[in-house]
Amino acid sequence: MLNHPVLVLNQNYEPLNICHLRRALVLIYQSRAEMLENGYGFVHTVRRDVPIPSVIRLPYLVKRPFHVARKLSRAEIFNRDQYTCQYCGKQTRQLTLDHVVPRYRGGQHTWENVVSACASCNRHKAGRTPEEANMKLHKTPAPPHASRYSYIPSQYLKSRREWERYFPH
């Protein structure tokens, strides 16, 4: 329960990042943030019931760069591919990374050569290219598009309806 995601907003209501519930409660308790949305109910303590925040806002402005190059990581690949196997189209949290051109054949560890794959598709493809394995990619891998809010994982935006009003459409 203390690992629930909480959206953190800047003083100007711009999304900054996501923190865990435990951190959000500490920020609120220390008067370093205010709760805007109560999305989960209450935490019951010995002395009182504390509302569980879904969205908090900082009372000060945090400056951050607009266009930061995103690092290639497992989480970023899964987020780019929206937690979908790029071979069979299955949406799951149990994904692996697959190099389209295997590394032992000179394939690089780059945005254009790494995709999300479910375990069965990754085993079927093994050390072959998709053409050799008779498999087709759903999307051509590419670096993720630059967005001010691309650091928010897509599964949160789908499941947290109360966050929608803080993101431009």
Q: Which domains does the chain have, with CATH numbers?
A: 1-68 (no CATH), 70-144+153-162 (1.10.30)
Beta bridge partners of 50: 43
pLDDT tens profile 65-85: 666 667 899 988 998 898 999
Q: What is the DSSP letter of 144?
A: P
Going by pLDDT thresholds of 50, 70 and 90, the confidence category of residue 164 is confident
Each residue's pLDDT tens digit, 125-136: 999 999 999 999
User: What does the pLDDT average to over 153-168?
Assistant: 75
10-54: per-residue pLDDT in tens? 999 988 888 999 999 999 999 999 999 887 788 888 988 888 899
- Render 46-110 in DSSP notation, one character per residue: SS-EEEEEEEEE-SS-----S--PPP--HHHHHHHTTTB-TTT--B-S-EEEEESS-GGGT--SS
pLDDT at 152: 67
Structure confidence at residue 154 (pLDDT)? 63
Please indicate, yes or no, whether the overall pTM of this predicted structure exceeds 0.85. Answer: no
pLDDT at 165: 85
The pLDDT of residue 63 is: 87
